[in-house]
Chains A and B, each alone.
Chain A
Amino acid sequence: MHFSSISQAFEGNDDFVSRNLQRENTAISLHFLKSVVDDKKISEQLINPFFVLTPKEYEQFLQSFTDWSQLDEEKEALDKILNGAVVLNIGSRFFTVGIPKYEGQSVGEVTSENVTAGPQTSLNENLDISLNLIRNRYRSNTLTVSFKQIGEMKSSKITIVYDKKYVDESVLQQIQSKINDISLLTISSSNQLQQKLNDTKWSLFPTMMITERIDRVTKNLQEGKTIILLEGSPFAVIAPAVFYDFFASMDDIIQLSVISRLLSFLRYIALFITVFLPAFYIAVVTFNPEFLQTQIALTVAGSRATVPYPSWMEVAFLALLMEFLIEASVRLPKTIGPTATTVGGLILGQAASSAGLVADVMIIVVSAVAITNSVIPINAMTFAIRIVRYPMILLASFFGMLGLVLGIVLLLGYLCWHRSFGKPYFRWFYADRAHEAIKR
Chain B
Amino acid sequence: MRTLLEKRYMYYVMFSMIMMGADVFTANLLASYSYKGAIAGMVAAAILAFILCYSLLKSLDKFPQKNLAEILRESRIPSFLRILFLMFFFLVWIALGWFLQGQSVIAYKFYFLPNFHHSTIWVAHAVVAAILSRLDSKSILFLCEIFFLFLLGIEVITIWMFSTYEFFSWQDILLALTYATTKPAFTTITLSSIVFAGLSTMATFNKVIAQEDKKIKAAVYIAAFGLFMLLSRQMLVIGASGMDAAAKYSMSGFSAADSIRVEVFITERVIYFFLISITTMLLVGNILLWHSAIAMIRSTFNISPRTEWVVMSLISLVPIILQKWFLEPSFQAAIRSFAWIHLASNFIFVVLLLYCAKRKVQTTNEF
Contact status of A413 and B112, CB under 8 A, knowing A424-B138, A427-B142, A428-B149: no
Which residues on A sit within 8 Å (CB–CB) of B139? 413, 416-417, 424
The reply to whether B142 and A409 contact each other, CB–CB distance below 8 Å, is no
| Pairs of residues from A and B, 7 with the lowest C-beta to C-beta distance, nearest first | A416-B142, A417-B139, A413-B132, A416-B139, A416-B143, A401-B112, A406-B128
Given A293-B267, A297-B268, A412-B146, 12 more A-B residue pairs with CB atoms under 8 Å apart are A293-B263, A399-B121, A400-B112, A401-B108, A401-B113, A401-B276, A402-B113, A403-B124, A409-B280, A410-B132, A413-B143, A417-B136
Q: How far is the CB of A419 from chain B (nearest CB, A)?
A: 9
Q: How far is the CB of B17 from chain A (nearest CB, A)?
A: 16
Within 8 A of B (CB), among A371-417: 399-403, 405-406, 408-410, 412-413, 416-417
Which residues on B sit within 8 Å (CB–CB) of A399? 113, 116, 121, 124
Which residues on B sit within 8 Å (CB–CB) of A247? none
Segment of A1-9, A105-113, A129-137, A284-292 engaged in the interface with chain B:
A284-292
CB of B212 within 8 A of chain A?
no
Contact of B266 among A288, A292, A409, A424 (CB under 8 A): A292
Q: How far is the CB of B113 from chain A (nearest CB, A)?
A: 6
Contact of B268 among A294, A405, A417, A432 (CB under 8 A): A294
Docked pose: A390 CA to B296 CA in angstroms: 35
Per-position binary interface string of chain B over residues 5-21, scored 1 when its CB falls under 8 Å from any chain A CB and 0 otherwise: 01000000000000000
Within 8 A of A (CB), among B126-171: 128, 131-132, 135-136, 138-140, 142-143, 145-147, 149
The reply to whether A416 and B280 contact each other, CB–CB distance below 8 Å, is no
Which residues on B sit within 8 Å (CB–CB) of A424? 138-139, 142
Range for the number of chain A residues in contact with chain B:
20 to 34
Q: How far is the CB of B270 from chain A (nearest CB, A)?
A: 11
CB of A426 within 8 A of chain B?
yes
Q: How far is the CB of A263 from chain B (nearest CB, A)?
A: 22
The reply to whether A293 and B142 contact each other, CB–CB distance below 8 Å, is no
The reply to whether B135 and A287 contact each other, CB–CB distance below 8 Å, is no
Docked pose: A294 CA to B267 CA in angstroms: 9
CB of A364 within 8 A of chain B?
no
Docked pose: A229 CA to B176 CA in angstroms: 70
Which residues on B sit within 8 Å (CB–CB) of A427? 142, 145
Q: How far is the CB of B102 from chain A (nearest CB, A)?
A: 14
The reply to whether B128 and A410 contact each other, CB–CB distance below 8 Å, is yes
Which residues on B sit within 8 Å (CB–CB) of A296? 266
Which residues on A sit within 8 Å (CB–CB) of B121? 399, 402
Interface of A is mostly: helix
The reply to whether B272 and A291 contact each other, CB–CB distance below 8 Å, is yes
Docked pose: A405 CA to B268 CA in angstroms: 19
Within 8 A of B (CB), among A359-374: none
Contact of B113 among A287, A293, A429 (CB under 8 A): A287
Q: How far is the CB of A427 from chain B (nearest CB, A)?
A: 5
Within 8 A of A (CB), among B246-293: 263, 266-268, 272, 276, 279-280, 283-284, 287
| Closest chain B residue to A417, Cβ basis | B139
Q: How far is the CB of A247 from chain B (nearest CB, A)?
A: 16
Q: How far is the CB of A31 from chain B (nearest CB, A)?
A: 40
Interface of B is mostly: helix
27 contacts between A and B (CB under 8 A): A291-B267, A291-B272, A293-B263, A293-B266, A294-B268, A296-B266, A399-B121, A399-B124, A401-B113, A401-B276, A402-B125, A406-B124, A406-B125, A409-B280, A409-B283, A409-B287, A410-B132, A412-B143, A412-B146, A412-B147, A413-B131, A416-B135, A416-B143, A417-B139, A424-B139, A427-B142, A428-B142
Q: How far is the CB of A321 from chain B (nearest CB, A)?
A: 26
Which residues on A sit within 8 Å (CB–CB) of B136? 417
The reply to whether A293 and B145 contact each other, CB–CB distance below 8 Å, is no
Which residues on B sit within 8 Å (CB–CB) of A416? 135, 139-140, 142-143, 146
The reply to whether B143 and A405 contact each other, CB–CB distance below 8 Å, is no
Which residues on B sit within 8 Å (CB–CB) of A406? 124-125, 128, 283
The reply to whether A408 and B280 contact each other, CB–CB distance below 8 Å, is yes
Which residues on B sit within 8 Å (CB–CB) of A405? 276, 279-280, 283
Docked pose: A416 CA to B280 CA in angstroms: 16
Docked pose: A206 CA to B145 CA in angstroms: 23
Q: How far is the CB of A323 from chain B (nearest CB, A)?
A: 27
Within 8 A of B (CB), among A226-257: none
Docked pose: A287 CA to B139 CA in angstroms: 32
Docked pose: A413 CA to B140 CA in angstroms: 7
Contact status of A409 and B284, CB under 8 A, knowing A290-B268, A291-B268: yes
| Closest chain A residue to B275, Cβ basis | A401
Q: How far is the CB of A361 from chain B (nearest CB, A)?
A: 12
| Closest chain A residue to B140, Cβ basis | A416
The reply to whether B268 and A293 contact each other, CB–CB distance below 8 Å, is yes
The reply to whether A409 and B113 contact each other, CB–CB distance below 8 Å, is no
The reply to whether A417 and B135 contact each other, CB–CB distance below 8 Å, is yes
Which residues on A sit within 8 Å (CB–CB) of B145? 427-429
Per-position binary interface string of chain B over residues 297-322, scored 1 when its CB falls under 8 Å from any chain A CB and 0 otherwise: 00000000000000000000000000
| Closest chain A residue to B133, Cβ basis | A413
Within 8 A of B (CB), among A288-312: 288, 290-294, 296-297
| Closest chain A residue to B128, Cβ basis | A406
Docked pose: A199 CA to B294 CA in angstroms: 26
Q: How far is the CB of B106 from chain A (nearest CB, A)?
A: 13
Docked pose: A288 CA to B284 CA in angstroms: 24
Docked pose: A432 CA to B145 CA in angstroms: 13
Which residues on B sit within 8 Å (CB–CB) of A412? 143, 146-147
Q: How far is the CB of A51 from chain B (nearest CB, A)?
A: 58
| Closest chain B residue to A402, Cβ basis | B108
| Closest chain A residue to B12, Cβ basis | A428
